[in-house]
Amino acid sequence: MDRFDRTTANVGNIMSLEHINLKVPDQDMAITFYSRALGLTRDPIIDFGKHNLWINAGDQQFHLPTGPAQVLRGVIGLVVPDLEKLQQRLDRTKKALSATQFNFKPYSSHIMVTCPWGNRIRCHSPENFNGMNLGIPYIEFDVPDASTKPISDFYSRVFNAPVIERKTSCCVQIGTLQTITFKEARREQKTYDGHHIAIYLADFSGPHAQLKKMGLITEESDANQYRFEDICNNRGNPVFQIEHEVRSLHHPLHGRNLVNRNADQTFFNYRKGYDFHD
Ligand SMILES: [Fe+2]
């Protein structure tokens, strides 16, 4: 018997999940929630004024263009350096967001936070996330009954992604630190409102050829990006919709060094040399 199971260290073709795009109707409120309450950082390099807000969370981002609120059908995982400090920030922000859906509930291993428009964000401390100290390690989508197998097959076939398949869910592996889980939700499916995710691929053209053959490409954005929306079974019938912004590793924004402030620095406790998270 081999000493090591080398297959456990494999990664598939999806290198990273970089951002989640959710429209927000109110930029000031979005800043209050993502920056003041969650302690994340407004991208200081790429700034869109009142039209859009990019929020850095480790090596990932939330993109928040102005528009009718979009709500991800499921849960976003967020790792923060210190859960206790997060709870203090959430407490301090309660009043400012009291007229919204903003809410949070601490559990033994995490804090479940609801954004002003109903997005659910499960916040964890860094233990159990393979060295991620701040970032978005996973998304869990609620999907229709009997869609686990076709979704799992789709990501294996098109993206050569390792997928852990269970009875009513499947977990798509992304790079070494991230996953997307599709869970049969046993509740009414919400109408898809157009929120999207961005992924980076090592083999950029292979999936494109397959998606094109299936008639699934919705946008040929530029040399390093295309989009698709339907996840289909092997007969070509859609089982779930989520727009993927698919990028090559040559995309100019790939691997940007994102600035992440240390939100625990305040006017009252300021210490030199502790302004940023690595
Ligand atoms: Fe995007």
What's the whole-number mean pLDDT along residues 54-62? 98
Strand order in the sheet with 103-106: 103-106, 110-114, 120-124, 74-79, 138-143, 178-184, 169-174, 163-165
Please provide the size of the chain in residues.
Answer: 278
What's the whole-number mean pLDDT along residues 26-47? 97
Structure tokens at 51: 């039209």
Return all residues near 28 (Cβ < 8 A) that are at least 6 apart: none
pLDDT per residue over 205-258, tens digit each?
999 999 999 999 999 999 999 999 999 999 999 999 999 999 999 999 999 999
pLDDT of residue 188: 81
What distance in angstroms lies between residue 84's CA and the mean position of ligand 1's atoms?
A: 31
Distances (CA, A) of 198 to 55, 95, 195, 268, 275: 14, 33, 11, 38, 28
Ligand 1 (ion): residues with CB under 5 Å are: 21, 198, 245
What distance in angstroms lies between residue 4's CA and the mean position of ligand 1's atoms?
A: 39
Task: In whole angstroms, give the CA distance from residue 44 to residue 30.
Answer: 16
What distance in angstroms lies between residue 99's CA and the mean position of ligand 1's atoms?
A: 29
Q: What share of the chain is helix, strand, coil (3-state, %, to 5)?
A: 15, 35, 50
Q: Name the pLDDT band for 30 (thresholds 50, 70, 90).
A: very high
What distance in angstroms lies between residue 227's CA and the mean position of ligand 1's atoms?
A: 10
What distance in angstroms lies between residue 112's CA and the mean position of ligand 1's atoms?
A: 25
pLDDT of residue 8: 85
CA neighbor of 159 nearest in space, from 194, 112, 203, 190: 203
CA angle centred on 87, ends 92 and 120, rounded to 5°: 100
pLDDT of residue 189: 85
Is 170 in contact with 151 (CB distance < 8 Å)? yes
What distance in angstroms lies between residue 197's CA and the mean position of ligand 1's atoms?
A: 6
pLDDT of residue 1: 81
What distance in angstroms lies between residue 95's CA and the mean position of ligand 1's atoms?
A: 31
What distance in angstroms lies between residue 245's CA and the mean position of ligand 1's atoms?
A: 6
What distance in angstroms lies between residue 193's CA and the mean position of ligand 1's atoms?
A: 15
What distance in angstroms lies between residue 212's CA and the mean position of ligand 1's atoms?
A: 20
What distance in angstroms lies between residue 274's CA and the mean position of ligand 1's atoms?
A: 31
pLDDT per residue over 130-173, tens digit each?
999 999 999 999 999 999 999 999 999 999 999 999 999 999 99
Type of residue found at 248: S
Domain ranges of the chain: 6-248
CA neighbor of 112 nearest in space, from 100, 121, 102: 121
Pairing of β 178-184 and β 196-201: unpaired
Q: Is the pLDDT of residue 42 over 80?
A: yes
pLDDT of residue 103: 98
What distance in angstroms lies between residue 269's CA and the mean position of ligand 1's atoms?
A: 36
What distance in angstroms lies between residue 244's CA and the mean position of ligand 1's atoms?
A: 8
Return all residues near 91 (Cβ < 8 A) that are at least 6 apart: none
pLDDT per residue over 81-140, tens digit each?
999 999 999 999 999 999 999 999 999 999 999 999 999 999 999 999 999 999 999 999
Fold classification of 6-248 is: 2,3-Dihydroxybiphenyl 1,2-Dioxygenase; domain 1 (3.10.180)
Buried b / exposed e along 76-105 (16+ C-beta atoms within 10 A): bbbbbbbbeebeebbeebeebbeebebebe
What distance in angstroms lies between residue 104's CA and the mean position of ligand 1's atoms?
A: 27
What distance in angstroms lies between residue 243's CA and the mean position of ligand 1's atoms?
A: 9
What distance in angstroms lies between residue 196's CA and the mean position of ligand 1's atoms?
A: 6
What distance in angstroms lies between residue 236's CA and the mean position of ligand 1's atoms?
A: 25
Q: Name the pLDDT band for 186 (thresholds 50, 70, 90).
A: confident
